[in-house]
Amino acid sequence: MTKILAIANQKGGVGKTTTSVNLAASLQATKRKVLLVDMDPQGNATMGSGVDKAELEYSVYDVLIGEADFDQARVTAPEAGFDMLPANGDLVAAEIELLEMNERESRLKNLLAKIQDRYHFIVIDCPPSLNMLTLNALVAAQGVIIPMQCEYYALEGLSALMDTIAAVSETHNPQLKVEGILRTMYDPRNKLTTEVSGQLFDHFGDRVYRTVVPRNVRLAEAPSYGMPVLQYDRQSRGAIAYLALAGEMLRRNEQQAIA
């Protein structure tokens, strides 16, 4: 069964795109077939996967509004090997055009329903705001992975996101749930980091991934070379962390399947 995961947080700069690209690459490395959907008009996941957003003939925008089919827009990440629906600035127009369309919240869900059997995992990189693109991602997904830094305002933003997920679950997608909370840019030497981390476990328990993603220079450098960190420097702490996250996710899925 295909698992569709939205990587979401309304707060910017918390590692959404980094997580989307590197989780997709790590799952692909475990011999799973993976699709990455870039739903952010900035196209950072597209560029970070080694695909030039300026050279696209078709993008996720064209598929969402019905002007291209999935296979016309689909590309393969050259280094990591996963498939992707790429994005560029055209996606800004989709925000406006979707408002006029039938089933505007379900366009991505309907698109993925036709092709999801090709993949073990579909990972959706959301923009850092709650808009029609994010809503499409949440309606299409079964689970949400929330990357977050352990900092002062993090829990406040997380509370708002939880309310959003609950509202979408109630109105559009009853199967939607929080898959896990991922602590990013993690520095255990920082007292505030450990305090917020402890609060996360108090509030969310098992939904907090045991894996943490540390601050890592190689992880930060990789996107400028158009590669996931696994291809850029497999021995780096960042690459090891995302491989560990993929492993933790797969173990959780197996346990849920048995239960």
Range of the domain at 252: 3-258
Show the tokens assigned to 95: 């925000």
In tens, the pLDDT along 75-87 reads: 999 999 999 999 9
- Residue pair 231/24 in contact (Cβ under 8 Å)? The answer is no
In tens, the pLDDT along 25-49 reads: 999 999 999 999 999 999 999 999 9
**Separation between Cα atoms, residue 7 and residue 18, nearest integer Å:** 10
- How confident is the model over 190-199, as a mean pLDDT? 91
Residue with tokens 């894996």: 211
pLDDT score recorded for residue 104: 92
* Segment (H or E) for 178: strand 177-186
pLDDT score recorded for residue 70: 98
pLDDT score recorded for residue 41: 95
Q: What angle do CA 23, 197, 188 make, to 5 degrees?
A: 85
pLDDT score recorded for residue 47: 98
What average pLDDT does the chain have? Answer: 94
pLDDT score recorded for residue 11: 83
User: In terms of Cα–Cα distance, which of 36, 48, 18 is closest to 84?
Assistant: 36
| Number of domains, the chain | 1
pTM across the whole model: 0.96
Q: What is the CATH number of the domain that holds 33?
A: 3.40.50.300
Higher pLDDT, 128 or 21: 21
